[in-house]
C-alpha cells in the first residue's frame, strides 16, 4: 500500500464494534455512498496535504485551549481529524426526538426538586440519593427562574453500542462546552474538503449563535428588544476562554468578567464608561459555586455578591440556572428513564448504559466483586478524571479503587465497558486511516418556545490506538459531525 | 462600553505606542553613538531616564550607563523592566487577548505574530547580526499595526479608547524625550557641530527629521527644534498635536454637552492642558523648556489616573463598597 492508494481502501472496522461509516462486511453504509465516493477520490498523500492545511488553519485562527499545567499559559489546538463523522437523516430524527424528550423531563425534574419534590415524595426516585448530591443546593429551593427555564443549554453525551443503538453516556446541564469547535470544524471542512461536504448534503450548523442569542433573550425579565444580555467568563486564563470569546463575538454580546458586574437593590448592573447599565440575561460560563460569594463561598473574592438574590427575585436570568448539577449527577443518571416516565408518562426514547450505584448495598457488593470488568466513575468528576477502566487496570489500581468505593460509596457508580463505535480516523504517524472510538455531544437549546437541537454536534475521538477515552485532557481529538438532510420525497 | 474592556483598550493603545517609541529611541541613539565622538554615558544615560527606569536600572546592578550594549539589552529584552520592548509587547498582547471579541481578527493576528517572533530564536539572531534591522522591524510592525487597527475596526468607543491611550502616551513620550535630551545637551557645553548632530538625532527619534526639514527648509536651531516638537500644529508627534487628538477622542467618548455622563474632571484637565500647550505657540521661550515639559509629563500621567478612576473602573465601585461592609 502506498501514498497513491485511495483513502478508504482496505479500511476494516474492529470486530464486535459498530463502525459509523462501514458495515460489518466492509462496505460503506448505503446512506453515505455519495459522501464516500467523494472522500475516496482523495489518495492518502492528497489527504495528508488536506489534513495539514486544516491544522494550520486552526492554529492561525487561534482556535486554542489553554493548558492549566503550564505557567506561561501555553495555548494548544484541539487535535482535529478531517475525516467526518456522518449521521443519516433517519438516525438523526430519532435522536432529536429522544433528546427533546430527555431535556423536557430533566427540566421538569429540576423544577420539582427545587420546589415541592413530588417525585421524591412519591418514591419514583430515591430521595436519599438525590438530596446527597454535592450539586443539590437547598438554599436555592423555592426559586422560580424568570422564563421558567433552567437548562438553557444542554450537552448530552451519546455513544453507540455494537448493535448501532445510541445510548446516553451522561448529561451536561451546567456549563456544557465545545460548541465553538463544532462551528470552527465546519468552517475547516468547507474550506478544505468542500466537494465531499457538498456530496454528503449536510445540515448547516452556523445558525447556532443566533439561535442561542434568541433563546437567551426569550427568557429575559424585560422586553426582548430592551434586553441587555452578556456572556460571563472567569477570564482569559480559563481553558475555555477561546469559546467564551467566540460565542460573545458571534452573538454580538459583550463578554464580561465577574468584577465588571455588581448588584444594587437586587438588580444586576455592568460598570461601563457611561456609568452603570442594567443587565437582564447572563450566559454564565463560570462555575456556580464561584458565582456569588454571599451564597457559596464567603471566603471567595471571585463572583458577583448578591447576584443570586437578583436571580431569585426574577430580575435577571442566569443561563444555565444554578443548581442544575443535581440532575446531571452520575448517581441520578440511572433514574432518568424513571424521571421521563414520571413526568411525561412516556417511554424513554433513548437507551442508557446499565449502571450500578455504589450507594446501594446490593449494587456495591456486585461492583466490588467485579471491579476488574467494570468502569468505575466518580459522580462529581468530569473530563475522564477519577475513573477506573477495570479491564485495562493494574491490580494496584483496582485495589486503590476498592478502598475508595468502600470509603465513600455515594461518590461512585459503575458501568460495563461499552465497545464504543468507531469511525475512520486519520493516523498521522502512519499516513492512513484506522478505526478509532468516538462519542457524540449534541447541543440542545431551550427557551420559552421549548427545546431545539443543533443538527450536528461535537464528535470526540480517542486518537490513541485501543483507547476508550475521548476527552481532550486525555489525548482525544474532534471531528466534524455531518447530519445529512432528509431525502426529498 | 464596559469599563474593564475600555481599560484594556486604553492600555493596548499605550503599550503599542510605548513599544514603538522605545524601539525608535534605541535605534536612533545607537546611530548617534556612532556619529559623534561623545562619552557613551552622555549618549545612553538619557535613554534610561526617558523610560523613567533610572532607579530600577541602578538597583538591577546594571548601574553602568556608559555601556550601550547593556542599556539596549535592558531596554529591549528585560522582562522585569516594564518599559522594555518585550514587556510592552507582551502587555499589549495580554490586553488584546483579554478583549479578543473587541479587537479585530487582523489586529490580533498581526500583534500575535510579532509577539511570537519576539520570543523566537530568529529575533535573537537578528538582534545579534543586524541591530538596525531589528529596531526597524519592531518600529514598522507597530506602525503597520496602528494602520491595521484603523483599517479593520469599527470607529466606536473601543477605537476611541485605544487612540486616547496612544495619544496620551505619545504626548508624554515626546515631552520626555525632548526634556532629557535638552538637559543632556546643556550639560555638554556648546560645540556647534556636535550640537546640531544631537538635535537632528532627536528629531529622528521622534520621526520628525523630514517633517522638520519641510517646515524649516533645512535651518536647524535648538529653539526651532524644541518649538517644532512641542507646538507644531500639523506634525503628528508634537505634544500639541497628540493632545489635540486625545481631546477629540475624548469628546467622542463623552460629548461635552452631555454633562450627566462620567468624566467631567478628565475632560476639564485634558482640555486645559491641550489649550495651554497650544497657547505656547505665541511666545515660545526655550529658556523655560524644562518646566514646561515637566508640567506636560506630570499632567499627562495625572490625567490618565483621573480617566482611570472616572471611566475605567479604577475607583472602588458599589460592589467593592458592599463587600467591605
User: Is A271 within 8 Å of B109 when comparing Cβ atoms?
Assistant: no
Chain A: closest CA distance from residue B246 (Å): 16
- Over residues B210-252, the pLDDT tens digits come to 999 988 887 888 888 999 999 999 999 999 999 999 999 999 9
- Average of per-residue pLDDT across A215-219: 95
User: Which of the pair, A78 or A126, is modelled with greater confidence?
Assistant: A126
User: Is B323 within 8 Å of A306 when comparing Cβ atoms?
Assistant: no
**Which chain B residues are within 8 Å of A233, Cβ to Cβ?**
none
User: Is B157 within 8 Å of A235 when comparing Cβ atoms?
Assistant: no
**Which chain B residues are within 8 Å of A262, Cβ to Cβ?**
317-319, 322
Q: What local confidence, expressed as pLDDT, does residue B190 receive?
A: 60
The ipTM assigned to this model is 0.73
Q: Are A489 and A481 in contact (CB under 8 A)?
A: no
Percent of chain A with pLDDT over 90: 70
Q: Which residue of B has its CA nearest to A276?
A: B2
Select from B7, B101, B320 the residue whose CB has the most chain A CBs within 10 Å, as the one to mutate to test that interface. Answer: B101
Q: Are B297 and B175 in contact (CB under 8 A)?
A: yes
Grid cell 437549546 is found at A445
Q: Are B2 and B175 in contact (CB under 8 A)?
A: no
Q: Please count the residue pairs, one from chain A and one from chain B, whose beta carbons lie less than 8 angstroms apart.
A: 74
User: Is B4 within 8 Å of A293 when comparing Cβ atoms?
Assistant: no
Q: What is the pTM of this model?
A: 0.83
Please check the confidence at residue B66 and state whether its pLDDT lies above 80: no
**Which chain A residues are within 8 Å of B253, Cβ to Cβ?**
273
DSSP alpha helix (H) spans, A41-165 = 44-60, 89-113, 118-121, 127-131
3-state class (DSSP) for residue A357:
strand
Buried b (16+ CB within 10 A) or exposed e, B279-315: ebeeebebeebeebbeebbebbeebbebbbebbbbee
Chain B: closest CA distance from residue A293 (Å): 10
**Cβ atoms within 10 Å of A259's Cβ, excluding its own:** 18
- Over residues A271-316, the pLDDT tens digits come to 999 989 999 999 999 998 889 988 887 777 779 999 999 999 999 9
Nearest to A460 by CA among A201, A169, A47, A175: A169
- Average of per-residue pLDDT across B118-125: 92
Give A126's Cβ-side CA count (13 Å radius).
13
Domains, chain A, ordered by start: 30-351+418-483 (no CATH), 354-416 (3.30.1490.270)
CA distance B309 to A273: 10
User: Is B98 within 8 Å of A235 when comparing Cβ atoms?
Assistant: yes
Please check the confidence at residue B61 and state whether its pLDDT lies above 80: no
Q: What local confidence, expressed as pLDDT, does residue A74 receive?
A: 59
3-state class (DSSP) for residue A434:
strand
Please check the confidence at residue B318 and state whether its pLDDT lies above 70: no
Lowest mean pLDDT, pick from A87-91, A142-146, B36-40, B292-296: B36-40
Task: Read off the DSSP letter of residue A346.
Answer: S
Q: Which residue of A has its CA nearest to B103?
A: A249
User: Is A271 within 8 Å of B4 when comparing Cβ atoms?
Assistant: yes
- Average of per-residue pLDDT across A350-358: 94
**Which chain A residues are within 8 Å of B6, Cβ to Cβ?**
272-273
Contacts of A71 (CB under 8 A, 6+ apart): none
User: Is A274 within 8 Å of B98 when comparing Cβ atoms?
Assistant: no
Please check the confidence at residue A383 and state whether its pLDDT lies above 70: no
**Which chain A residues are within 8 Å of B261, Cβ to Cβ?**
274-275
The residues with which A441 forms a beta bridge, in sequence order, are: A458
Percent of chain A with pLDDT over 70: 95
- Average of per-residue pLDDT across B9-15: 96
Task: Using a CB–CB cutoff of 8 Å, tell me whether B317 touches chain A.
Answer: yes
Q: How confident is the model at residue B325 (pLDDT cuts 50, 70, 90)?
A: very low
Q: Which residue of B has its CA nearest to A299?
A: B323
- Average of per-residue pLDDT across A237-261: 90
User: Which of the pair, A6 or A489, is modelled with greater confidence?
Assistant: A6
**Which chain B residues are within 8 Å of A274, Cβ to Cβ?**
1, 254, 261-262
User: Is B317 within 8 Å of A271 when comparing Cβ atoms?
Assistant: yes
User: Is B2 within 8 Å of A260 when comparing Cβ atoms?
Assistant: yes
Q: Which residue of A has its CA nearest to B264?
A: A274
Q: Which residue of B has its CA nearest to A268?
A: B319
User: Is A273 within 8 Å of B161 when comparing Cβ atoms?
Assistant: yes
CA distance to A115, A377, A395, A410, B32, per residue, from A370 (Å): 39, 14, 13, 18, 81
CA distance A270 to A254: 10
Lowest mean pLDDT, pick from A30-39, A163-172, A188-197, B27-36: B27-36
- Average of per-residue pLDDT across A240-263: 92
Torsion angle, alpha carbons of A286, A289, A295, A297, to 10 = -110
Chain A: closest CA distance from residue B155 (Å): 16
Q: Where are the beta strands (DSSP E) in A347-421?
A: 351-352, 355-357, 374-378, 387-389, 412-416
Chain A: closest CA distance from residue B169 (Å): 20
Torsion angle, alpha carbons of B314, A229, A239, A320, to 10 = 130
Task: Using a CB–CB cutoff of 8 Å, tell me whether B7 touches chain A.
Answer: no
Task: Using a CB–CB cutoff of 8 Å, tell me whether B97 touches chain A.
Answer: yes
Chain A: closest CA distance from residue B6 (Å): 7
Q: What local confidence, expressed as pLDDT, does residue B219 receive?
A: 81
CA distance to A212, A424, B85, per residue, from B74 (Å): 50, 54, 9
**Cβ atoms within 10 Å of A425's Cβ, excluding its own:** 21
* Mean pLDDT, chain B, whole residue set: 87
Q: Are A173 and A336 in contact (CB under 8 A)?
A: no
Task: Using a CB–CB cutoff of 8 Å, tell me whether B316 touches chain A.
Answer: no
User: Which of the pair, A105 or B109, is modelled with greater confidence?
Assistant: A105
Q: What local confidence, expressed as pLDDT, does residue B193 receive?
A: 64
User: Is B161 within 8 Å of A245 when comparing Cβ atoms?
Assistant: no
Residue ranges of chain A whose CB lies within 8 Å of a chain B CB: 60, 62, 235-236, 242, 245, 248-249, 254-257, 259-264, 270-276, 293, 304-306
Phi, psi of B153 (to 5 degrees): -110, 155
CA distance B29 to B224: 21
DSSP alpha helix (H) spans, A204-302 = 208-218, 241-251
**Cβ atoms within 10 Å of B165's Cβ, excluding its own:** 28
**Cβ atoms within 10 Å of B151's Cβ, excluding its own:** 11
Burial class of residue A395 in the structure, from the number of CB atoms within 10 Å of its CB (0-12 exposed, 13-18 middle, 19+ buried) = exposed
**Which chain B residues are within 8 Å of A240, Cβ to Cβ?**
none
CA distance to A14, A20, A321, A380, per residue, from A23 (Å): 11, 8, 43, 37
Q: How confident is the model at residue A62 (pLDDT cuts 50, 70, 90)?
A: low
Chain A: closest CA distance from residue B45 (Å): 33
Closest Cβ opposite residue A245 in set B4, B100, B112: B100
- Average of per-residue pLDDT across A401-429: 91
**Which chain B residues are within 8 Å of A295, Cβ to Cβ?**
none
Amino acid at each position: 500500500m502506498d501514498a497513491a492508494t485511495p483513502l478508504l481502501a482496505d479500511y476494516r472496522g474492529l470486530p464486535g464494534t459498530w463502525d459509523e461509516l462501514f458495515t460489518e462486511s466492509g462496505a460503506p453504509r448505503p446512506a453515505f455512498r455519495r459522501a464516500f465516493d467523494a472522500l475516496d477520490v482523495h489518495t492518502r498523500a492528497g489527504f495528508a496535504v488536506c489534513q495539514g492545511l486544516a491544522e494550520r488553519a486552526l492554529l492561525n485562527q487561534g482556535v486554542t485551549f489553554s493548558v492549566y499545567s503550564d505557567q506561561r499559559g501555553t495555548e494548544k489546538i484541539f487535535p482535529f481529524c478531517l475525516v467526518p463523522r456522518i449521521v443519516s437523516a433517519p438516525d438523526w430524527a430519532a435522536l432529536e426526538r429522544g433528546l427533546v424528550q430527555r431535556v423536557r423531563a430533566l427540566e421538569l425534574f429540576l423544577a420539582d426538586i427545587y420546589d415541592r419534590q413530588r417525585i421524591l415524595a412519591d418514591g419514583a426516585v430515591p430521595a436519599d440519593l438525590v438530596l446527597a448530591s454535592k450539586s443539590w443546593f437547598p438554599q436555592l429551593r423555592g426559586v422560580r427562574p424568570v422564563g421558567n427555564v433552567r437548562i438553557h443549554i444542554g450537552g448530552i453525551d451519546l455513544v453507540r453500542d455494537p448493535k448501532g443503538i445510541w445510548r446516553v453516556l451522561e448529561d451536561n446541564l451546567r456549563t456544557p462546552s465545545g460548541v465553538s469547535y463544532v462551528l470552527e470544524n465546519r468552517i475547516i471542512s468547507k474550506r478544505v474538503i468542500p466537494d465531499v461536504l457538498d456530496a454528503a448534503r449536510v445540515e448547516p450548523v452556523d445558525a447556532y449563535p443566533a439561535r442561542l442569542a434568541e433563546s437567551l433573550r426569550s427568557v429575559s425579565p424585560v422586553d426582548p428588544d430592551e434586553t441587555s444580555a452578556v456572556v460571563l467568563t472567569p477570564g482569559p486564563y480559563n481553558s475555555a476562554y477561546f469559546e467564551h470569546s467566540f460565542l460573545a463575538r458571534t452573538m454580538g454580546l459583550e463578554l464580561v468578567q465577574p468584577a465588571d458586574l455588581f448588584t444594587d437593590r437586587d438588580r444586576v448592573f455592568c460598570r461601563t464608561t457611561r456609568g452603570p447599565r442594567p443587565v437582564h440575561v447572563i450566559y454564565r460560563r463560570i462555575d456556580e459555586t464561584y458565582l456569588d460569594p454571599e451564597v457559596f463561598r464567603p471566603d471567595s473574592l471571585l463572583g458577583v455578591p448578591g447576584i443570586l438574590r437578583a436571580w431569585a427575585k426574577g430580575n435577571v436570568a442566569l443561563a444555565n440556572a444554578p443548581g442544575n448539577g443535581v440532575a446531571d449527577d452520575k448517581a441520578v443518571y440511572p433514574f432518568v428513564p424513571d424521571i421521563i416516565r414520571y413526568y411525561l408518562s412516556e417511554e424513554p426514547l433513548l437507551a442508557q448504559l446499565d449502571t450500578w450505584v455504589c450507594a446501594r448495598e446490593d449494587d456495591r457488593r456486585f461492583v466490588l466483586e467485579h471491579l476488574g470488568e467494570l468502569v468505575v466513575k466518580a459522580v462529581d468528576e468530569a473530563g475522564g478524571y477519577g475513573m477506573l477502566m477495570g479491564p485495562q487496570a493494574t491490580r494496584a489500581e483496582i485495589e486503590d479503587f476498592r478502598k475508595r468505593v468502600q470509603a465513600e460509596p455515594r461518590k461512585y457508580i459503575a458501568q460495563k465497558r461499552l465497545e464504543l463505535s468507531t469511525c475512520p480516523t486519520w493516523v498521522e504517524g502512519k499516513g492512513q486511516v484506522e478505526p478509532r472510538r468516538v462519542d457524540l455531544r449534541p447541543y440542545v437549546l431551550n427557551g420559552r418556545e421549548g427545546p431545539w437541537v443543533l443538527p450536528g454536534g461535537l464528535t470526540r475521538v480517542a486518537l490513541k490506538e485501543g483507547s476508550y477515552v475521548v476527552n481532550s485532557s486525555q489525548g482525544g481529538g474532534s471531528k466534524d459531525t455531518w447530519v445529512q438532510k432528509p431525502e426529498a420525497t | 462600553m464596559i469599563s474593564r474592556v475600555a481599560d484594556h483598550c486604553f492600555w493596548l493603545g499605550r503599550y503599542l505606542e510605548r513599544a514603538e517609541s522605545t524601539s525608535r529611541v534605541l535605534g536612533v541613539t545607537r546611530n548617534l553613538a556612532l556619529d559623534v565622538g561623545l562619552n557613551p554615558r552622555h549618549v545612553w544615560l538619557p535613554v534610561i531616564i526617558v523610560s523613567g527606569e533610572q532607579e530600577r536600572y541602578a538597583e538591577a546592578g546594571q548601574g553602568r550607563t556608559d555601556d550601550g550594549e547593556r542599556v539596549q539589552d535592558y531596554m529591549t529584552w528585560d522582562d522585569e523592566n516594564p518599559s522594555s520592548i518585550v514587556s510592552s509587547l507582551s502587555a499589549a498582547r495580554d490586553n488584546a487577548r483579554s478583549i479578543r471579541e473587541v479587537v479585530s481578527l487582523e489586529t490580533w493576528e498581526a500583534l500575535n505574530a510579532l509577539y511570537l517572533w519576539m520570543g523566537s530564536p530568529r529575533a535573537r539572531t537578528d538582534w545579534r547580526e543586524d541591530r538596525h534591522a531589528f529596531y526597524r522591524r519592531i518600529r514598522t510592525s507597530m506602525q503597520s499595526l496602528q494602520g491595521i487597527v484603523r483599517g479593520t475596526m469599527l470607529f466606536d468607543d473601543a477605537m476611541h479608547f485605544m487612540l486616547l491611550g496612544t495619544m496620551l502616551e505619545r504626548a508624554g513620550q515626546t515631552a520626555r524625550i525632548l526634556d532629557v535630551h535638552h538637559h543632556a545637551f546643556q550639560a555638554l557645553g556648546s560645540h556647534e557641530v556636535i550640537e546640531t548632530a544631537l538635535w537632528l538625532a532627536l528629531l529622528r527619534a521622534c520621526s520628525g527629521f523630514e517633517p522638520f526639514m519641510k517646515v524649516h527648509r533645512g535651518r536647524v536651531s535648538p529653539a526651532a527644534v524644541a518649538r517644532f516638537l512641542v507646538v507644531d500644529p500639523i506634525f503628528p508627534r508634537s505634544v500639541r498635536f497628540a493632545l489635540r487628538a486625545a481631546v477629540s477622542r475624548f469628546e467622542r467618548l463623552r460629548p461635552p454637552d452631555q454633562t450627566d455622563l462620567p468624566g467631567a474632571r478628565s475632560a476639564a484637565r485634558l482640555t486645559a492642558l491641550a489649550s495651554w500647550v497650544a497657547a505656547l505657540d505665541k511666545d515660545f521661550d526655550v529658556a523655560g523648556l524644562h518646566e514646561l515639559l515637566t508640567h506636560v509629563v506630570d499632567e499627562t500621567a495625572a490625567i490618565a489616573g483621573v480617566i482611570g478612576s472616572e471611566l475605567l473602573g479604577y475607583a472602588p465601585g458599589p460592589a467593592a463598597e458592599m463587600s467591605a461592609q
